[in-house]
Structure formats: structure tokens, C-alpha cells
Amino acid sequence: MLYFFNLLVFLIDISQETVLNWFGLEHPGVKEFGDIELYQPGLEIGDAFKTVDISPALSLDTFRLIIEGFWEKIKDGLSMSDIDNIIAGIIIIRFTILAIRYNLVTSFLINCIGMFAAYLWYRHFIQILFSYESILYRIPFTFKLGVDAYQIRNLIYSKIRQSDFNIRLTNPIGILLYAVNNGIVQDGHRIDPISIFLSWLPDNWRKAGEPYYYGLYRKIIPLTIKFIGQFYREISAFAAYTLSVRIGKVYCPYLIRWHWTMLVMMTFIEPYFMKLMYRMYYYIVEILTPQLEQASYLGSQPMIELQIRFLTVAMVTIIITHLTCILFAVFHALCGQYFYLPIFTDNVELHIGPRDKTSVYSGGYTSWQDRDEKTKKLSSVIPKFWYGWFGRGTKSNWNILSPIQNLVKNIIKKLIKQIKTITKRF
């Protein structure tokens, strides 16, 4: 049965057109097709179609077309659809590689673990977009992300306004409240025990108790439900983290526990950057810009313009760096890898412990966990900021400059040998 899925891979016509359509890129033959006149003297219509190769074979030229197509898309900024396409491509490539290396079941489980860990960062990335939405419009490179954040936020609000929004499996308290509110009302009359008891009382007693009755249903109960709902929204994330990572750590994979703990630690310092961004944005829009407009009749104001430029550059740098770091974490989690941040990574691993290197489900490399005691003491004073790609380490075989260095050394050696042979002849 498992070999049937391997057979499906060979049944798919993987051509250049298929790959380009998957990534949402336009086929190069389509552009040429628009320039061809269907009726030309001495050329039949069928021959005009034959002049365009719509589906050439998969080759190295396809890779070039993909790079060029992606560059045309991202040079004006990324959008959420571009990020989703990259994530989908990574999942498919990784699933295929792991299926060949292990089997389909193991590959599926490893990918599910990585996708869940990446989903935590991805959801946090969308929340950060909501926080930066008004500022993203002022940055050309992040304008598309601002538009996507606006559309996603409106979509979420439209679902919240639906009558059946609370009836979902992820909101058990909402289901309970919905059942109680609809169960105690019948034909416009309340049939709960308190209302029935009040209806049985004599008229003079019922009139005396009606203010308390309506105060209970119109003020006390709605305020209590609102308080419980707000408390539940604030504490639900930490309750889920505690139940999954701390209490149920035996059943939660290490990759998920590591990234979830790192995300929780990052949320403690991110509000300070967000508040700094909004203070800078408010200072530019509400203070510096009016001053510049009022003083414009006096000529140029280099100090005010310099402040606006400096704050704008600082704001853009911090926001793009923040979003890039979150995407950096998304792709690491999606690939089942870890990354090192001084202080943060050490504190994360104090909570969840070292990685089990014998399990295939524990993720990739954590070379900082293999440090000796001298290196650990030295890193506590002078922290190390780089441990290679995906936590692999800084060995020469994983150093990005080592292949270039080896190539240059080989070329220099060959040149020296040729020079020596030439000098010997003379």
C-alpha cells in the first residue's frame, strides 16, 4: 500500500509548466504567445500555435525562471501569499526527502511536528502584523503585508460577528454559554429556576424582587461572563503552554516544546519594541510633521527634516528586522531545526533540558549543547552569537566561505605550478 504513493509521484507530469504554475509564476511562452498574430500571410493558424513551446521539459532553465519570477515578486515586497507558497514548497520538498530517507509514516510525523512548531511562529507573525499595520503602509517594502493584515483582520472580525461563532470545538466555554442562553428561553419567556421561582411568588413579593432579578440578568451576569471571557482569553495561551510543555512534556515532542518556550520568552520583550515604534510614529506624525508644515514658509528646516529621516530609517530598520527574525524562526521550525540566541536559548534549555539526539523526531542540530565546561563559562562572559546554519556548528565543512576559499586556493596552486613549469623551460 505504501508503494502506491510512490507510484503517484511518477504518474504526475512534472514539466516546466507544472512547476511554474505551482509557484504561481507565468510561463515564458505565454508572453510570447500574446505577441503572435494568429493570421499571417503564408502561415496557417495551426502553425502559429506550434511556434510556441507551451510545456518544455524540466531543466536547469526552470530553476532560473523560478528565481527570476520570485525576484519580480519580492522586489516590491513580500505578501502573505508569497510566504505561504514558500512554506508549502518547503513542506513538500522536506516530505519527499524524508520519505526517501525513512518511510512515509515517519516523514509524515516529522513534518507534522515541524508544521505545528512553525504554526506557533506563523500565528505570532500575523499578530505582529496587526500591531504594525498602520506603520507598514508607510514602508514600500511592507505595504503588501499591511494590506494583507487589514484583509485578515476584517475576515476575522466578520467571522466573530456571525451568530454561530461561539459554537466551535476550540471554544468549549462558548458552547456552554450558548447552550445555557438558548436553553433557558422558550417562546420569549425564561424558564430557568430563578425565573420560575419568581413567577410563583405573590404579586407584592414579586414586585419587590423584580429590581434584583433584572439587576442580576442585565448587569451582574453579563459583567461576570465578560470578565470570565477576558480572563480566559488572557490565560488560555499560558494554560495551553503549561498543559502541553510542562505537565504533558512526555507526550509533547522536544521541537515543539523548544520553539514554544522560545516564543513565550520572546513575547516578554516584544511589547517594548512595539511601544517604541508607536512612540516614534506618533512623534513623527503628530509633532515633527506639523512643525515642518508650520515652518515651511520660512524655508527649509534641515534639523526637523533630519529628525524625520533618522526616525523613519530607525523605525523601518527595527520593523523589518523584527519581522525577518520571526520568519527566520518560522522556517527553522518548519525544517525541524533550532537556532541560537545568546541568553534566550540558554534559558529555554534550562526549562526543557537538552535534546535527545537518539530520536529522529527531536529535530536537527544543537551544537551549543555540546560545549565543554570551559566554553560554557567563557560564553557566560563573552556570549557567542553564531553557531552555523540551522545550529549545525561552525566547522569548516559548513562554513559558507570555505568552498570559495578552497576554490581560490586550488586556482592559486595551479597558477603557481604553471608559472614554475614555464620558468623551468626558460
DSSP secondary structure, 8-32, as one string: HHHHS---HHHHHHHTT---HHHHH
Element (H, E) at 343: none
Distance of CA 190 to the CA centre of its chain: 47
Residue-wise pLDDT for 46-59, tens only, equals: 444 444 444 555 55
User: What is the model's pLDDT at position 6?
Assistant: 46
Do the Cβ atoms of 387 and 368 come closer than 8 Å? yes
pLDDT tens sequence across 161-201: 766 666 666 666 677 777 776 677 766 667 777 777 777 77
pLDDT, average across residues 129-155: 86
H or E element, residue 39: none
102 phi, psi to nearest 5 deg: -110, -100
User: 40 phi and psi, to 5 degrees?
Assistant: -130, 145
Three-class secondary structure assignment of 140-187: HHHHHHHHHHHHHHHHHHHHHCCCCCCCCCCCHHHHHHHHHHHHCEEC
- What are 1-20's pLDDT values in tens digits? 444 444 444 455 556 566 66
**CB burial string 16-50: b at 16+ within 10 A, e below:** bbeebeebebebbbeeeeeeeeeeeeeeeeeeeee
Task: Average the pLDDT over each of 84-88, 203-207, 360-364 and give the range with the smallest value.
Answer: 203-207
Residue 385 and residue 332 in contact, taking contact as beta carbons nearer than 8 Å: no
Backbone angles phi, psi at 191, to 5 degrees: -120, 20
Whether the Cβ atoms of residue 266 and residue 325 lie closer than 8 Å to each other: no
Identify the band that residue 280 occupies on the pLDDT scale cut at 50, 70 and 90. Answer: confident
3-state secondary structure of 299: coil
167-to-36, 152, 159, 182, 363 alpha-carbon distances in Å: 56, 21, 12, 12, 36
CA angle 67, 68, 71 (to 5 degrees): 85
For residue 366, report the phi and psi dihedrals to the nearest 5 degrees.
Answer: -135, 75
Looking at residue 70, what is its pLDDT? 65
Supply the mean pLDDT for the chain.
76
Q: Which of 19-28, 295-304, 335-344 has the lowest mean pLDDT?
A: 19-28
Quick one: pLDDT at residue 175?
A: 73
HSE-CB for 90 with a 13 A CA cutoff: 18
CB neighbours of 179 closer than 8 A, spacing ≥ 6? none
- State how far the Cα of 43 lies from the Cα of 39, in Å rounded to an integer: 7
CA proximity to 394, closest of 402, 405, 404: 402
Which amino acid, residue 248? G
- Residue 85 CA to residue 314 CA, distance in Å, equals 30
Helix (H, G, I), strand (E, B) or coil at 190: strand
Residue 33 is predicted with a pLDDT of 46
Which distant-in-sequence residues (6+ apart) come within 8 Å of 9 by Cβ?
96
Q: Is 411 exposed, middle or buried (0-12, 13-18, 19+ CB in 10 A)?
A: exposed
Q: Is the pLDDT of residue 305 over 90?
A: no
User: Residue 8 has what pLDDT?
Assistant: 47
User: Beta-carbon neighbour count of residue 264 at 10 Å?
Assistant: 16
Instruction: With cut-offs at 50, 70 and 90, classify the pLDDT of residue 276.
Output: confident
Query: Which residue ranges make up each domain of the chain?
Result: 1-75
